[in-house]
Structure 1
Amino acid sequence: MDPLEQFQRHDLVWLSASGWDALCAAQPLALLPALRHWQQQEWPCVVRRSDTDAAADEVCIGIAFAPQDGHKLRIAARVRCDQVIEHQPGLALATVLPLVSAVWQPPLRALQVAASTVGLRFRVYGSLAYEFLTGETYLTPDSDIDVLFRPADAVQLQAGLALLQHYQQQLPLDGEVIFPGAQAVAWKEWLLADSVSETDYAARVLVKDLRQVRLLRKTDLLQSLQAT
């Protein structure tokens, strides 16, 4: 079994002591206090796309530190898969709702309720997720709310896209739709392709997975839903 099959981009992972030692050893010495603080707080790292030269048993991860004076510091690292001691998908939207601002609360709750009625679970990543996990300040007035969803079929795909299209009028929404095989497409790009031609399923969209970025036809992604 491919050890990476268990991971998807945006997943949260917690590292063993040896994992943290390996991560810290590969980073500049000046970052060591911040990284050890992250370890002591037992905050997770986030799975990112694999580096082209990563070993077969390595998972590529990242940490985004809270912005300081407008500067955003991110680190990229690798650890062995066996140095991950806990692993879960990104946070559910319902989980982070108590954190969000009063301005965002009503439309986000409405989005969550509407998604539940059609059997969808939206998850969050990016600044909103980091702020919930760490308690530090990541969100600014210009921040997006990054959300993703994994449709089970074409009906759920259309339902999820319709909800996001509706609520983006009230919220700074961004994010991805995840097709089978962890194939991620920016849902705004999918909607844009729809707006150009509702029937042109040969149109290509940019697809990201754990290993690569490529262009695929929309029809191929739709067929992947039908095959599951």
Structure 2
Amino acid sequence: MDRHDLAYLHPVADLHFLDSSLPEPARQKVYQLLQQSVPMTICRQDNDDAAQVKLAINCLVEGCKYRVACLVEADEIQLITRPLSLHTLLIERPQSFQDAALHDFAKALVTLNCEVYVYGSYAYEYLTQEAYVRVSSDLDLVLYPQDMSRLADILQLIQKTQTLSAVRLDGEIKIHPDWHVSFNELLMIYPEAKQSIIGKALQHVDMLKLEQLLEWNLEDANCTEA
């Protein structure tokens, strides 16, 4: 289980909404999406209680977008998968992605042995068939390099694509077994190993030295609860 992964729940799962002020129409919309087998997203966990899992979902109600967080019992989750594949999105939504730079980007990541997934507005528009994407929406990606020796090439590819594509890229890259970082922040400091960057784990957020992440040497890292 990782941040941004998709959790498919039982259609009648009992959701414990974390925002007591959430309007009733938004609550009902979440249950409606649940019954349509729309997955929720794994988000940062507040504790290590394996019996409960914190999830989130975006829903549209009368033109307003709500980011809804809730707790569910772990046994209410039927399946956890990686997020929506960028390759799937490009193939099945060609009318939305006529930007050649994005198609070239996805193909190049395959040759670099790097998995790439989509979360955020573009993912939920695909999953729900509703209009989540706006002109200002970023394409939120999470990258999983399978060969860290290609990290510099992957970052160079991201930078190149950002200059060529009309769609803004944002998101994270997992450069350590436990930690994601923003790839845009990483682009600003790489390869200066003494520079610090915000690391995001399943339960923690911490400011870490890049060398700690790249060397997988976090014994001295002072992790703090998110």
TM-score by length of 1: 0.84
Q: Alpha-carbon deviation of 1:116?
A: 1.3
2:32 is aligned, of 4, 12, 37, to: 37
1:67/1:159 Cα in 2 relative to 1: closer, same or farther (>3 Å)? farther
For the pair 1:128 / 2:132, whether they are aligned, the reply is no
SS for the counterpart of 2:60 is coil
SS for the counterpart of 2:44 is coil
Q: Is the 8 A contact 2:11 2:37 kept in 1?
A: no
Return the structure number with greater strand share: 2
1:186/1:220 Cα in 2 relative to 1: closer, same or farther (>3 Å)? same
Query: What is the one-letter code of the residue matched to 2:46?
Result: D
Q: Alpha-carbon deviation of 1:152?
A: 2.8
Q: Is the 8 A contact 2:113 2:147 kept in 1?
A: no
Please list, as runs of the form range in 1=range in 2, the aligned pairs for 1:210-221 lying within 5 A after superposition. 210-221=202-213
For the pair 1:173 / 2:166, whether they are aligned, the reply is no
Aligned counterparts of 2:18 and 2:156: Cα–Cα separation in 1: 46
Q: Percent identity?
A: 28
Aligned counterparts of 2:17 and 2:199: Cα–Cα separation in 1: 31
Query: What is the one-letter code of the residue matched to 1:40?
Result: Q
Q: Alpha-carbon deviation of 1:24?
A: 6.2
SS for the counterpart of 1:32 is helix
SS for the counterpart of 1:87 is strand
Tell me what 1:77 maps to: 70
Q: Alpha-carbon deviation of 1:179?
A: 2.4
Q: Alpha-carbon deviation of 1:149?
A: 1.0
Tell me what 2:101 maps to: 107
Tell me what 2:131 maps to: 137
What 5-or-longer segments of structure 1 have no aligned partner?
1-6
Deviation string, structure 1 residues 9-35 (Cα, Å, up to 9, x no partner): 0000011255x2234698657133212
**CA RMSD, Structure 1 to Structure 2 (Å):** 2.3
Query: What is the one-letter code of the residue matched to 1:79?
Result: V
Aligned counterparts of 1:172 and 1:68: Cα–Cα separation in 2: 27
Please list, as runs of the form range in 1=range in 2, the aligned pairs for 1:1-228 lying within 5 A after superposition. 7-17=1-11, 20-23=13-16, 28=22, 30=24, 31-52=26-47, 55-66=49-60, 68-69=62-63, 71-97=64-90, 98-99=92-93, 101-102=95-96, 104-169=98-163, 170=165, 171-194=167-190, 198=191, 200-224=192-216
Q: Is the 8 A contact 1:66 1:73 kept in 2?
A: yes
Q: Is the 8 A contact 1:46 1:62 kept in 2?
A: yes
SS for the counterpart of 2:115 is coil
Q: Alpha-carbon deviation of 1:202?
A: 1.4
Aligned counterparts of 1:185 and 1:128: Cα–Cα separation in 2: 20
1:100/1:76 Cα in 2 relative to 1: closer, same or farther (>3 Å)? farther
Return the structure number with greater helix share: 1
Deviation string, structure 1 residues 40-78 (Cα, Å, up to 9, x no partner): 2110000000125x7342211001113754x32111111
1:163/1:24 Cα in 2 relative to 1: closer, same or farther (>3 Å)? same
Q: Alpha-carbon deviation of 1:79?
A: 1.2
Q: Alpha-carbon deviation of 1:88?
A: 0.2
TM-score by length of 2: 0.85
Deviation string, structure 1 residues 167-186 (Cα, Å, up to 9, x no partner): 01123111101123331100
